[in-house]
Structure formats: C-alpha cells, structure tokens
Amino acid sequence: MEAVWQGLVQAFLLIVKLDPGVLEVVALTLKVCGLATAISIIIGVPLGILLALKAFPGCQVVVSLVNTGMGIPPVVVGLVVSFLLWRSGPLGYFGLIYTPVAMVIAQALIAAPLITGLTMAAIQQLPPGLRTQVLALGATPGQLYWTLLKEARRGILAAVIAGFGGVISEVGAATMVGGNIMHQTRVLTTATVMEVSRGHFDVAMALSFILIGLSFTVTFALTVLQQRERPGKAN
Amino acid sequence: MGIGIYARDVRVIKGGRQVLAVDDLEIRPGEVWGLIGPNGAGKSTLLQVLALLEKPAAGEVWFAGRKVDYRRILPWRRQLAVVFQESLLLDTTVFNNVATGLRFRGLPRPVIKERVERWLKALQIKDLAHRPARGLSGGEAQRVSLARALALEPRVLFLDEPFAALDAPTRATLLEELHHILEATGITAVFVTHDFTELLFLADRVAALQEGRIVQTGTPEAILWHPASIQLAAFVGIANLLPGEASLNGAGPARVRLRGGTTILAGTRVKGRVVACLRPEEISICGLQEGKEGANILRGRIVRVVPQGGQYRVEVDCGLELVALAGATQIRRSFMAPGQEVMVTFPPEAVHLIPA
C-alpha cells in the first residue's frame, strides 16, 4: 500500500515539476502511439468498410486473417518486425531498427487488425436495408461510404479506442524493435518495465499512473465524441 | 409529372435460381401500379429492378422512352425515390434526414431548406424537424421517410410495403395523404402491398406475381374479382373456391354443377371443368321467411360466426361450405347465429369461373 502511495506522490511531483526526462518519455509515447493509431485508422477503416460491403474471392480468408490479427500476441509482431528491419534483414537497408519509426510500424501492425475488424463489425451491424436506402437517395459510391461511416461512427470510435488502447499498453514489441534507448525510443511502458527490473517500484508506479492518466484522457476524449449524440439522449 | 417505365425480358437469378422472369411490363406516365403476390413471388425483386437498385442478369429497363445504361446509373437513379417498409432513417435529425438526398445532389442550401420545410409541412411533421430521427414513433418515422422521398421531387416513386408495420388508424391516414399527394403531383408510382384495401384505394393498375412471373395485370377490381388462376384467387381473399362442371345453354349465364350436386349460375361464359370463385362479400344471408327470388338461392344452416376485423365471417353449410362476410348491423339479426337455418343468395355475375 505504501508503494502505491509513494508512487502517487512521485507521479504528482514528476508532473508538477515538469520533469524533463518524464516529459520526453510522455511526448514520445504520445507521438508513437498517436502515429501508430492514425496509420491503423487510415488502413483499418477503409479495409473494414470494404470487407463489410464487398464480396470478393478470398474474402472469408481475409476476414479470418483480420480476426486472427486482432488477437495476435504483440511479441510475435515485434519478432516479425525485428526480423524484417534487422540490419541484415530484408529491410535492414533503411536502418530503422531501434528507432521510433520501427515502434510505429510494429504498433500500427498490432492496432490495424483491431480497427479493421471492429470497423467491419460496426458497418455490418447497420440495418441491412440501409445501404440500399442510401443508394436509393441518389448517393455516389463516395457519398454512400461516407454516410455509412457516419452511421457507424460510434462503433468505429470504439474501434479507434480499442486500437489506441492496444498500442499504448503494448510493451513487448516496443522493446524488441525500439530497444528502450534513452532519449530515442524510451516510452512509458518500456520505461516502467525497466524501472521494475531495477527495483525502483515507486518510479515505476509513478510512470504507470502517468500512463493510466494519459490513456484515460485520450480515451475519455474519444468517448465524449462517441457518446455525445447517443440515441435516446436529450439534445 | 411522372415518366413511363418499360421492362422487357427481365431475369434475376439469386443463388443459382431464377427468382424473377418478367417478359413485358409497361407502366404509363402518372400511373399508380400495385404489385401483389404471395411471399417469395418476386414483388420486391421486381420493385428493386424497376427502381434500379438491382441489376438484372438479363433484360432491359426503359425510363421515359430511353434504355437505362447500368454503367452510368446515377443520373437515372436520381429521377426516382424509394420508401421501404422499414423507415431506415439516418442517425441524425429529421431535417437532416429529409435533406440527405438533396445534399447528395449538391443543391444550394436555400433550396434544400425550402424543399425540406415544404415537405415536412405537407406531411404534418414540421414540428419534428429538429428532433433526432431515432426517437420517433413508427408512424412519425414513416412520414419522415415519405417526406425524404417526396422532397427529391422524383418522377417515379417506389414503395415497398410502406405501411405494413403501422397501426390501422395511422395506416389509413397516411394512405389518404399519399393518395392526395400522388394525385396532386402526377408522379408515377409503383408499390408492393399485401393489403387489398391499399390496392383499391391507390392503384390504377395491378400486376399479380407468382413464382417470379407476372400472372395477371389489370385494374384492382379485375384482379380481385376475376383472378386468372386458382392460386391467385386464394391469395386475393376469395374464400369460396368451388370445383364443378360448367355448361352453356344459349346466351345466358353458364350453369355450374358443383361437386356435391348443387347447381349455380355464373357470369363467366366457359364450359368444362372449372373452379367457381365467389368473394365472401358478394354473399347475402337472410332469414327463411324473407321471400327471395332469382338465381343462386340456397338454403343452409349457419355453422360458425367468427369476428374478423370490423366484420364477421359467417360459415354456412348449404350442401357445400360457403363463407360470407356480414357487417355489425346484419350480425345483430336473430337468425345470424350458429345452428340457424338461413337463405344464402348471390348474383350470377359475382361467380367467376376459372378453367381447372
């Protein structure tokens, strides 16, 4: 209990004092997770819509792969990305291993299936006749997809929340491809693991509280966006 | 003003099975057509083909004398509007729902505002404009759905069982309003229904479908009173389908000797094996002492009286089982009770014969 209390005090002090080391880690965490989530949205939302609305040969195989990807252990993703980006690996030429870019790639690969799968489910849960109705209103294909996207916005925001949650809490792949290098690839999760291994439980606790606070703030903002026009809620 | 539609040799195949085969269907500008048929007959598929929401495997659809080009479908589709049984409103305000199709067409804001307000007013839902559409009652939602379709000022309006999910009073009111709107605007309309009162009230012409084919077209009265097949007769509510043998004697009505020995006179002049069709509402029931003269007077006994909507279904055994409909006033008469002996009459012209 004392460790928890000390952690809280330490976190409070680190934030109030605007500790440069912590701020740097927080900034990199936000940058890496934000970019990874953004890339996952760019890949996952259109792919989710495509899988929900279009039937093509091999569609079920792709859907199965996406569903498998939703539950794939991050260390496996870390291993694959490490292998690809390793200096002697197929993409080693780019020199990306142990850089924030490698972390973004790994985390985007973790979040993209989540966002794809949940977007697909959100679109599929719309009333079956809605697509036909929107077409009957004279929509172009672009107008159709945009309208369906707006209709499924709560589900898609849930997908984004899940994707962001997946990347901000992830540590295995980040360590494998980032290496937890100070001032370069150290993020809140890898720093927490490192502090625990050093026996600095109070600092680890402090970093965890900051991580939770950060995660809560972003998720809360997304939730407000998601719930502001909830059906049945008075405007 | 509405435009004409013509469909030729249309074939739709689903799951390897042909579900629609329409050789020829012509809908003239401004006409209101009803599509009827049992479940799975292909009514909704035909409506979707005509509304350009489903591309047929073969065949052609013509709008206003021009063949529809499915590669450039949008300009054609923007001449029509569709209302489905489910209101399928978007998760936004009523105003935005009605404005959606107009925004798709890129109309200027003042035009959209004016049109939306005009149609919200026409359908008596102006007060709901800023309400979220998802909180509306079924009747209100269907009014919004109609307003959304009519605000597009379509040249053809398609309605797929639009009032099926509504309660009777709401359905009656909306039906009347739609009737006035269609009359006032001259829009060509095609609607699918299971309700024959809608047919009589709205439709100029009816196409009856069975197993994906149009089996009969004609006025609502022709379809309901003179159906082309026994299956269609049963579907349109002709409860009395009586097999027999018809013979002609001079220029008068046909004589039909029914199975069981009873002979009746019929308006349709055919001979040979037939099924005599007699709508329940064409049968009059009276007491034994009420002297009746003329053709088709049968003596029988009431077997059962069953309330049916605002009327009563009266089953009478006259040597053959007949089903009649009686109103509330008639049912209060002393002889209208099970076990009572009665006289049953119907005019020969009410008996329609279908060759068996």
The domains of chain A, with CATH numbers, are 2-227 (1.10.3720.10)
Same fold, B5-225 and B238-355: no
Contact A127 B152 (CB under 8 A): no
For residue B158, which residues of chain A lie inside 8 Å, CB to CB?
Answer: 136
Q: Which residue has the higher pLDDT, A106 or A16?
A: A106
Neighbour-count burial for B309-334, b at 16+ CB within 10 Å, e otherwise: eebbbbbbebebebbbbbeeebeeee
Question: Mean pLDDT, to the nearest integer, of B288-311?
Answer: 85
Give the pLDDT band of residue A223 (cuts 50, 70, 90). Answer: confident
Longest Cα–Cα distance in chain B: 74
For residue B112, which residues of chain A lie inside 8 Å, CB to CB?
Answer: none
Question: Mean pLDDT, to the nearest integer, of B216-231?
Answer: 92
Q: How many CA atoms lie within 13 A of B287 on its CB side?
A: 10
Contact A137 B148 (CB under 8 A): yes
Instruction: Report the alpha-carbon distance of residue B95 to residue B102 in Å, rounded.
Output: 11
Residue B1 pLDDT greater than 90, yes or no: no
Residue A143, chain B, CB below 8 Å: the answer is yes
Contact B104 A138 (CB under 8 A): yes
User: What percent of chain B clears pLDDT 90, i.e. is strictly above it?
Assistant: 72
Give the pLDDT band of residue A232 (cuts 50, 70, 90). Answer: very low
Contact A129 B84 (CB under 8 A): yes
ipTM of the complex: 0.84
Predicted local distance difference test score (pLDDT) of residue B325: 92
Mean per-residue pLDDT over chain B, rounded: 92
Give the pLDDT band of residue A230 (cuts 50, 70, 90). Answer: low
Residue A3 pLDDT greater than 90, yes or no: no
Question: Mean pLDDT, to the nearest integer, of B202-209?
Answer: 94
Predicted local distance difference test score (pLDDT) of residue B97: 96
Neighbour-count burial for B337-356, b at 16+ CB within 10 Å, e otherwise: eeebebbbbbebebbbbbee
Report the residue of chain B nearest A230, measured CA to CA.
B91
Q: How far is A232 from chain B (nearest CA, A)?
A: 6
Q: How do the residues of chain A divide into helix, strand and coil, expressed in percent and rounded to 5?
A: 75, 0, 25
Residue A13, chain B, CB below 8 Å: the answer is no
Report the residue of chain A nearest B50, measured CA to CA.
A136
**What kind of architecture, by CATH, is found in domain B5-225?**
3-Layer(aba) Sandwich (3.40)
Predicted local distance difference test score (pLDDT) of residue A231: 52
Residue A88 pLDDT greater than 80, yes or no: yes
Residue A125, chain B, CB below 8 Å: the answer is no
| Sign of the dihedral defined by the CA atoms of residues B2, B200, B347, B290, in that order | negative
Predicted local distance difference test score (pLDDT) of residue A233: 47
Of B112, B94, B92, the C-alpha closest to B102 is B112
The DSSP code for B132 is B
For residue B148, which residues of chain A lie inside 8 Å, CB to CB?
Answer: 137
For A107-116, what is each residue's pLDDT tens digit? 999 999 999 9
Give the pLDDT band of residue B291 (cuts 50, 70, 90). Answer: low
Contact A130 B88 (CB under 8 A): yes
Residue A25 pLDDT greater than 80, yes or no: yes
H/E element holding B321? Answer: strand B321-326
Of B306, B301, B278, B275, the C-alpha closest to B288 is B301
Query: If interface means Cβ-Cβ distance under 8 Å, which residues of chain B face chain A?
Result: 48, 51, 53, 74, 77-78, 80-82, 84, 86, 88, 90-92, 100-101, 104-105, 130, 132, 134-135, 148, 152, 158
Beta-carbon contacts of residue B154 (< 8 Å; ≥ 6 apart): B79, B80, B81, B187
Q: Return the C-alpha torsion angle A196, A200, A206, A212, nearest 10.
A: 0
Q: How far is A231 from chain B (nearest CA, A)?
A: 6
In terms of phi and psi (left: phi > 0; alpha: psi -120 to 50; beta: otherwise), the region of B52 is left
Residue A151, chain B, CB below 8 Å: the answer is yes
Predicted local distance difference test score (pLDDT) of residue A234: 40
Quick check: B213 and B251 in contact, CB under 8 A? no
Residue A229 pLDDT greater than 70, yes or no: no
Contact A140 B104 (CB under 8 A): yes
Question: Mean pLDDT, to the nearest integer, of A90-107?
Answer: 94
Predicted local distance difference test score (pLDDT) of residue A235: 38
Q: What is the pTM of this model?
A: 0.83
Choose from A137, A149, A156 for mutation: most chain B CBs within 10 A.
A137
Residue B23 pLDDT greater than 50, yes or no: yes
Give the pLDDT band of residue B198 (cuts 50, 70, 90). Answer: confident
Residue B346 pLDDT greater than 80, yes or no: yes
A-to-B residue pairs, Cβ atoms closer than 8 angstroms = 58
CATH of domain B238-355: 2.40.50.100
Choose from B91, B119, B136 for mutation: most chain A CBs within 10 A.
B91
Residue A52 pLDDT greater than 70, yes or no: yes
Residue B328 pLDDT greater than 90, yes or no: no
Here the tokens at position A158 are 């849930």
For B31-87, what is each residue's pLDDT tens digit? 999 999 988 899 999 999 999 999 999 999 999 999 999 999 999 999 999 999 899
Beta-carbon contacts of residue B348 (< 8 Å; ≥ 6 apart): B253, B264, B265, B266, B267, B295, B296
Q: How far is B52 from chain A (nearest CA, A)?
A: 8
Residue A10 pLDDT greater than 70, yes or no: yes
For A132-174, what is each residue's pLDDT tens digit? 999 999 999 999 999 999 999 999 999 999 999 999 999 999 9
Residue A142, chain B, CB below 8 Å: the answer is no
| Sign of the dihedral defined by the CA atoms of residues B49, B53, B58, B61, in that order | positive
Q: How far is B168 from chain A (nearest CA, A)?
A: 24
For residue A143, which residues of chain B lie inside 8 Å, CB to CB?
Answer: 104
Here the tokens at position B292 are 């009746």
Residue B289 pLDDT greater than 50, yes or no: yes
Residue A197, chain B, CB below 8 Å: the answer is no
Instruction: Report the alpha-carbon distance of residue B346 to residue B292 in Å, rounded.
Output: 11
Listed by start position, the domains of chain B span: 5-225, 238-355
Instruction: Report the alpha-carbon distance of residue A67 to residue B103 in Å, rounded.
Output: 37
Question: Mean pLDDT, to the nearest integer, of A191-203?
Answer: 88
For residue A232, which residues of chain B lie inside 8 Å, CB to CB?
Answer: 134-135
Question: Mean pLDDT, to the nearest integer, of A11-15?
Answer: 78
Question: Mean pLDDT, to the nearest integer, of A91-100?
Answer: 93
| Sign of the dihedral defined by the CA atoms of residues B144, B150, B152, B155, in that order | positive
Q: How far is A49 from chain B (nearest CA, A)?
A: 18
Contact B77 A231 (CB under 8 A): no
Contact A137 B84 (CB under 8 A): no
For B93-138, what is each residue's pLDDT tens digit? 999 999 999 999 999 999 999 999 999 999 989 999 999 998 899 9
3-state secondary structure of B34: strand
Instruction: Report the alpha-carbon distance of residue B294 to residue B70 in Å, rounded.
Output: 60
